[in-house]
Structure 1
Amino acid sequence: MKVNHLFIGGKWTAPAGGDTITVTSASTGEFLGSAPAGVDLDVDHAVQAARSAFDAPGGWPAWEPERRAAAMVRLAEALDAGSEVMARTVSAQNGMPISTAEPFEGKVPAMLLRYYAGLAADASGEETRVGLPQGTTVVRREPIGVVAAVMTWNFPQTMAFFKIAPALAAGCTLVLKPAPQTVLDPALLADAIETAGFPEGVINIVPGGPEAGAYLVSHPGVDKVSFTGSTAAGRRIAAACAALLRPVTLELGGKSAAVILDDADLASHLEQLFMASLINNGQTCFASTRILAPRGRYPEIVELYTAMAQGAVVGDALDRATQIGPLVSASQRDRVEGYIRKGLSEGARLTTGGGRPAGLDRGWFVEPTIFADVENSSTVAREEIFGPVLTITPYDGEDEAVRLANDSAYGLAGTVWTSDLDRGARVARRIRTGTVGLNGYLPDVTSPYGGRKASGLGRELGPEGLQAYQELQSIYRP
């Protein structure tokens, strides 16, 4: 798949520069395709197209909410028609098992579009309030403007539509900057945008590296930035937006804890345990990769996770039997292997994994790896590894479990495992994190998702995700 043009202003346009981004298969290392690498001039053109689509009389924000919603539903239908190809394209690029890519990358974007199309009527609502000491005030919600959406590679389409769907519903226009590891699936998105008949300039796509992203984030024509990615990159983007007093939403890294209570019936939740901790080969920001186990059941829980890792099917991402695919790149595999060595050097006990799986000589594979007897202060328990590596730490009593769960720089997600959901909810309320799942974990489209501390700023999903793309205006009347 060779993409030769950029999607700007509703048209496929020639790039201003001559560099390309090459994509290889995570499973085999073989060439998959290429796309142009956007340069500053391409970003200028994309922002201007988005600016024109927003500012023009009768432009996107001036459409009636029902009309915007209808366009969003048409885009959802176009994505549905190409969902199988989209899932396979993502899976080939980043190593996501196809059994995960189909429901996530193939289905969630259209789900988000339909959900926010349903909320679009509320996007430009007005409320009249009785004033104090006198008069009334009309409180209006307006679209914030041109949005720079800088995206990640691990769930490239799902996370893109965390931004696209609410921004469109609010009446905003967008410039998308895909990650260089996944630049082929955005071409399929552009085709769907054309099929849906979207107005020119409402959604523009400029792939590129960090330089293109930095230029876009600081562009004077941008009104808001939304970023998903690493905490380190998020800090740089936050600094740039702070200098410009520019609104920003940051969905960053995580090191979430799985708090296993002493009454948990883990045998009934094996599939949920796997999904919560190892979904997408551990390349998931919300994954519960720190396992906190009650000391009275510690050997049993270590054995359970060890068996789960040993029994996982590791293989080509496009094989439907695969549960653990490759990592996205050679550099990501090197990073994960470096953490495994660090865990061993710091005295953690390796119960399984730690190497490269036999028979998979091509691609970027790492065995599912379990470390037991891990101190919560150790590197592998504190830093985001972003691979199929779990740590298990014992605790004595519920209070210590909560203390350990909160003893982290991150606060994105977490899970509590118990036979008593009321008890689990009480524990969840004590964990300082943006989201918590009981006996499983998946973000809920209708509810706010995001992190505390080093896991980010702001919220996506739910009505709160729509509000992130709106400005408030108060009109006072005597």
Structure 2
Amino acid sequence: MHEHDRLFIGGQWTAPAGTGVIEVISPHTEEVIGRVPEGTQADIDRAVAAARRAFDEGPWPKMTPAERAEIVGRLAAIYAERQQQMAELVTAQMGSPILFSVFGQAAIPQQVLQYYVDLAATYPWEEERQGMLGPVTVTREPVGVVAAIVPWNVPQFTLMLKLAPALIAGCTVVAKPSPETPLDSYLLAEWITEAGIPEGVVSFVPAGREVGAYLVAHPDVDKVSFTGSTAAGRQIGEVCGRQLKRVTLELGGKSAAILLEDADLAATMEGLKLASLMNNGEACAAQTRILAPRSRYDEVADALAEMVGSLKVGDPADYSTEIGPLVSRRQQERVEGYIRLGQEEGAKVITGGLNRPYDRGWYVAPTVFADVDNSMRIAQEEIFGPVLALIPYEDEADAIRIANDSSYGLGGSVWTADVAHGIEVARQIRTGSCGVNMYTLDPNTPFGGFKNSGLGRELGPEGLVAYLEHKSIPHPA
């Protein structure tokens, strides 16, 4: 049992302002595995005040990037040594298969942290430009106090997309973990203290939506970075627009994997295990629409049903498990609701369906729908579970049209024997990223979406720019 009775506010373990408690429930056993205080508006006020003081009066933003990188580098080293502990904790909280957790819930967050430590040494923090009227010094300065609001599906990864560049930039951060997954922030807070990050620079306040909304609208917050649903992102965007507050939004997706006529079916099916079903399908960039040429549709349907139907569903702590439970009963019921909807819309279940694999735990059978039209809700709405929609196309132009016929624009992939041609097809997909014969996120390249998938970019140098203001200082020669 992981029990905590304090909040990490301004680098200090402090008593919460309220009496509410968040219970963390194992999605595998349905038993309580942890308790933490539920943050309140008063806790947010304290955290933001500490962050404001640390930014306005403290040493952190005044340090050189190299000095900040040295301290954050210590955190990256601690993280690297203990990432197995983080992976196991995330798996226990939200059901991610441990094999994925080791990679996606711990190793990649650590790599993101290390990437920004290294970038500090080469990033052009200041430059001299020859303007039309004389020389100009252009500097990059930290944006200020950052509100980082992260979801439950990949809590450490989405946090590091915000925390790592913000710290290197010289910002101070108030992070609000999801109430489903607050425990990993406690472990990270211990490492932050050990690394020697100054007081006030980082706070964690686990809480629900109302407290999150209060944090977003707080007048002493300079920038908001949010990962979550498009509906919530719209509300946050409206608030930030009224306040002229900087904002980054990484939102939903309904990405398409396009199988071209010459795709190697066996290799593609192996690739789709990760691209389409990573993290139990609870991933914004999952390729949940599978587009197959009509000439090979039945062949692809058989191969996809065999691959998905053979996945091992079970205890997420077992290294042989490929699909674990969903994060909550609410999410289980939501995904099953979409499976019913797909059947009502006329799509055909070719593997999976509504028979739960286990009586205990929030499991859903990995499911593939065939005979799907792209106008169906199961092809247009983000389900956030292990449910795939197999959609036929007539020719390559039709495949591109279908892939782009979505309100989202986050990810995608093209599967083909001709990589150069695959890149040409990927260029025509209106998404923030589109892989060829793979789907992966690289810390050195920008990640984000077109259309309803969000605003701005995370990762890469672009992710650092999101936490900087540019200042021009013209001066005599």
Do they superpose with TM above 0.5? yes
SS in structure 2 of the partner of residue 161 of structure 1: helix
Contact 1:10 1:194 (C-alpha < 8 Å) held by counterparts: yes
| Per-residue deviation, 1:122 | 5.0
Q: 1:476, CA displacement in angstroms? A: 1.8
Q: 1:368 aligns with which of 359, 366, 369?
A: 366
The answer to whether residue 26 in structure 2 is matched with residue 6 in structure 1 is no
Structure-2 separation of matches of 1:125 and 1:184: 35
1: CA distance, partners of 2:60 / 2:119: 16
| Structure 1 length-normalised TM | 0.98
Amino acid at match of 1:43: I
Query: Which is further off, 380-389 or 110-119?
Result: 110-119
Q: Which residue of 1 aligns with 2:407?
A: 409
How far apart in 2 are the matches of 1:196 and 1:90?
A: 21
Q: Is the 8 A contact 1:276 1:440 kept in 2?
A: yes
Q: Does 1:217 align with 2:212?
A: no
Q: What letter corresponds to residue 120 of structure 2 in structure 1?
A: A
Partners of 2:475 and 2:67 in 1: how far apart? Answer: 31
Deviation of residue 477 (structure 1)? 2.4
Match of residue 447 from structure 1 = 445
The match for 1:104 is 104
**Partner Cα distance (2:137, 2:164) in 1:** 27
- 8 A Cα contact 1:124 1:170, kept in partner: no
Kept after mapping to 1: 8 A contact 2:355/2:365: yes
Distance 1:369 1:229 in 2: 24
Residue 128 of structure 1 corresponds to: 128
> What per-residue deviation string (whole Å, max 9, x for no partner) do you get for residues 339-375 of structure 1?
00100001001101112434x2111000000000100
Mapped contact 1:5–1:15 kept (Cα < 8 A): yes
Identity within the alignment, %:
55
Partner of 1:76: 76
User: SS of 2:105's equivalent?
Assistant: coil
CA contact (8 A) 2:269 2:303 kept: no
Structure 1 position 227, deviation (Å): 0.2
- Give the match's secondary structure for 1:392: strand
**Residues 59-83 of structure 1: CA deviation (Å, up to 9, x unaligned):** 1111122111111111112222321
Deviation at 1:174, TM superposition (A): 0.2
8 Å Cα contact 2:446-2:463 kept in structure 1: yes
- Structure 1 SS opposite 2:288: strand
CA contact (8 A) 1:26 1:95 kept: yes
- Given that 2:351 and 2:368 are in contact with CA atoms closer than 8 Å, whether structure 1 keeps it comes out as yes
Measure the CA separation in 2 of the matches of 1:124 and 1:36: 42
Q: Per-residue displacement from partner, 1:12-52 (whole Å, max 9, x unpaired)?
A: 00000000111100111011111111111100110111111
Indicate yes or no: 2:188 matched with 1:189: yes
Stretch of structure 1 that moved more, 230-239 or 47-56: 47-56
Output the CA distance in 2 between the equivalents of 1:273 and 1:124: 39
In terms of mean alpha carbon deviation, does 79-88 or 323-332 score higher? 79-88
Question: In terms of mean alpha carbon deviation, does 219-228 or 115-124 score higher?
Answer: 115-124
| Structure 1: runs of 5 or more not aligned | none
Deviations 1:58-110, CA, capped at 9 Å, x for gaps: x1111122111111111112222321221111111111000000112221222
Contact 2:51 2:174 in 1 (8 A): yes
2:339 corresponds to which residue? 340
1:240 has 2:239 as partner: yes
State the Cα deviation string for residues 247-292 of structure 1 (Å, max 9, x = none): 1000000000001100001212433111000001100000000011
Query: In the alignment, residue 17 of structure 1 is paired with which amino acid?
Result: G
Q: Is this contact kept in 2: 1:123–1:169, CA < 8 A? A: no
Q: 2:67 maps to which residue?
A: 67
Q: What are the equivalent positions in structure 2 for 1:348-427 lying under 5 Å apart? A: 348-358=347-357, 360-427=358-425
Corresponding residue number in structure 2 for 1:48? 49
For the residues of structure 2 that align with 1:301 and 1:124, how far apart are their CA atoms? 49
Distance 1:199 1:27 in 2: 38
Indicate conservation of the 8 Å contact 1:356/1:365, yes or no.
no
Q: How far apart, CA to CA, are the structure 2 residues paired with 1:249 and 1:113? A: 18
Q: 1:37/1:123 Cα in 2 relative to 1: closer, same or farther (>3 Å)?
A: farther
Residue type of the alignment partner of 2:164: A
Offset of residue 124 of structure 1:
6.8
CA distance in 1 between counterparts of 2:292 and 2:223 reads 42
Which one-letter code corresponds to 1:9 in the other structure? Answer: G
1:88 corresponding residue in structure 2: 88
Query: Separation in 2 of the partners of 1:449 and 1:303?
Result: 33
Distance 2:271 2:282 in 1: 17
Give me the whole-angstrom Cα distance separating, in 2, the residues matched to 1:275 and 1:155: 15
**Cα contact 2:269–2:304 (8 A) shared by 1:** no
Match of 2:426 among 419, 428, 436: 428
Aligned equivalents of 1:415, 1:282: Cα separation in 2 = 16
- Quick one: distance in 2 between partners of 1:123 and 1:191? 29
1:123 Cα shift? Answer: 5.5
Counterpart of 2:40 in structure 1 is: 39
C-alpha distance in structure 2 between counterparts of 1:82 and 1:10, whole Å = 20
Q: Which residue of 1 aligns with 2:149?
A: 150
Q: 2:95·2:326 contact (CA, 8 Å) conserved in 1?
A: yes
Opposite residue 315 of structure 1, the aligned amino acid is G
Contact 2:257 2:287 (8 Å CA) reproduced: yes
Q: Measure, in 2, the Cα distance between the counterparts of 1:126 and 1:143.
A: 13
Q: TM-score, normalised by structure 2?
A: 0.98
Partner of 2:158: 159
Partner of 2:313: 314
Query: Root-mean-square deviation (CA), in Å?
Result: 1.1
Q: 1:249 & 1:102 partners in 2: Cα distance?
A: 27
Pairs aligned (count): 475
Deviation string 1:166-191 (CA, Å, 9 cap, x unpaired) is 11111111000001110111110111
Contact 1:459 1:465 in 2 (8 A): yes
Change (3 A) 1:450 1:277: same
Which ranges of structure 2 fall in alignment gaps of 5 or more residues? Answer: none
Quick one: which amino acid aligns to residue 102 of structure 1? V
Task: Provide the C-alpha distance between the structure 2 equivalents of 1:456 and 1:44, rounded to a whole number of angstroms.
Answer: 27
User: Aligned to 2:341, what secondary structure does the other structure show?
Assistant: helix
Q: State the alpha-carbon separation in 1 of the partners of residues 129 and 71 from structure 2.
A: 33
Corresponding residue of 2:302: 303
1:174 maps to 2:173: yes
